[in-house]
Amino acid sequence: EVQLVESGGGLVKPGGSLRLSCAASGFTFSTYSMNWVRQAPGKGLEWVSSISSSSGYIYYADSVKGRFTISRDNAKNSLYLQMDSLRAEDTAMYYCAREKSDVITHKMDVWGQGTTVTVSS
Amino acid sequence: SYVLTQPPSVSVAPGKTARITCGGDNIGSESVNWYQQKPGQAPVLVIYYDSDRPSGIPERFSGSNSGNTATLTIGRVEAGDEADYYCQVWDSSSDHPWVFGGGTKLTVL
């Protein structure tokens, strides 16, 4: 079964750090680009960051650039998001999602269940 | 950056057809995907490449895309279809390529 399982969320004070992990199983992780998407309470989906299969291409949303770092370990079938200088507005459910792409379309075809990050003093 | 506009809410009676729109500048030239998110659950891809359905998605779900509007159509709506729906495109000209619409809450009356 294709599966993504996030972990590492929790309560952190403003200015603090947190590292999210996403464990992949049931597919060849090293051949897929991966993404982090977040959803603030009661709000819509917001793309956060993307990383290509070999980590050669990395993108960030403006809202997190310079504070968050995406990485992956293909040997461990794992995706990570290092979150530094956290702000209250980073409070959200964080999902990891697999990217399925071809010449025509880019889609997120597998999603984890998410991990909750709360930034509060 | 590319902007996708969705109505905040759509209501439909059971058994009827629901149409959820997604507006964008010349969106007909883009490939549009749609995600369904039920309360407390992760999003699920229901339509990709404008009108293709992943395996396991009922035929009641269909999509179209032309001009400045993409549309997700749900036929013979059931109570279980009540959810938030998001459109999404890939903006190849941007270093922020993933663009989501604001989402539409579908209410089954």
For the stretch A23-63, pLDDT in tens is 999 999 999 999 999 999 999 999 999 999 999 999 999 99
Taking residues B21-26, what's their average pLDDT?
A: 97
Q: Cα B22 to the chain's mean position, in Å?
A: 7
| Most B-contacting residue of A6, A62, A108, A115 (CB-CB within 10 A), to test interface | A108
* pLDDT at residue number A51: 97
Taking residues B48-55, what's their average pLDDT?
A: 96
Q: Cβ separation of A50 and B97 shorter than 8 Å? A: yes
Backbone angles phi, psi at B23, to 5 degrees: -100, 140
Span A63-105, pLDDT tens digits: 999 999 999 999 999 999 999 999 999 999 999 999 999 888 8
Whether residue A88 contacts residue A119, with contact meaning beta carbons closer than 8 Å, is answered with yes
State whether residue A22 is helix, strand or coil: strand
- Report the length, in residues, of chain A: 121
Within an 8 Å CB–CB cutoff, is residue B48 touching chain A?
A: yes
- In this structure, what is the dihedral angle of CA atoms A5, A29, B90, A85, given to the nearest 10 degrees? 50
